[in-house]
Chain A
Amino acid sequence: EVQLLESGGGLVQPGGSLRLSCTVSGFTFNNYAMTWVRQGPGKGLEWVSTISGGGDNTYHADSVKGRFTISRDNSKNTLYLQMTSLRVDDTAVYYCAKSRGYSGYEDPRFDYWGQGTLVTVSS
């Protein structure tokens, strides 16, 4: 059974940092790209970042470029999102999702999702 479990969310002040983790099981982790998608309160889905199966290619939304970094440790079956210079409008539930392919490039197919972790940016 495929499982994705996010952790690391919480309350942080504007300008602060936070690292999210997503631990997975039930599939060969390094064969698939992984993605972070967020959803602000009462809002729609927003793609954040994608990383290829080997970790050598990453893609970030313009809204987080230069502030967020996606990474993965294939030996630990874990995906990360390092978030810095957090802003109030980064407040959202952050989901990790598994892609159906390896590269993640030009690929909107996310076939398994975690339950999400809430990040609240507020003073």
Chain B
Amino acid sequence: QSVLTQPPSVSAAPGQKVTISCSGSSSNIGNNYVAWYQQLPGTAPKLLIYENSKRPSGIPDRFSGSKSGTSATLGITGLQTGDEADYYCGTWESSLSAGVVFGGGTKLTVL
């Protein structure tokens, strides 16, 4: 059971847009920055978004992030078959069990 809640799967057609939600609480998302990671099959995770909405160099602007209250959202536009991957949100948990927490992951299928 992950501290952050993500839908297990989402799907959309090539060229379309998809959003992935990440729900938490005031002790994590509500008071800390959110990051998003992409994990292609058989590879290590890759940082897509940090500080809620910033993109590292080399990440296309098709990927976007936002945060509102205790939830965050990853958006991907112009879907490509190469975007099929698992996506994870992550943030800091400020409770007694302090540390980085991740969502359970969302499998994106590009139909």
CB within 8 Å of B: which residues of A?
Answer: 35, 37, 44-47, 50, 59-62, 95, 97, 100, 106-111, 113-116
Contacts and interface: CB of A to CB of B under 8 A. Distances in A.
Contacts of B51: 109
B103 interface: yes
Sort chain B's interface into a size bin: 20 to 34
Contacts of B33: 106, 108-109
Contacts of A60: 99
Q: Give chain B's interface secondary structure class.
A: strand
Interface of B: 2, 32-35, 37, 39, 43-47, 50-51, 56, 86, 88, 90-92, 94, 97-105
A50 B35 CA distance: 16
A107 B105 CA distance: 19
B92 A45 contact: no
Given A45-B88, A100-B50, A113 B45 contact: yes
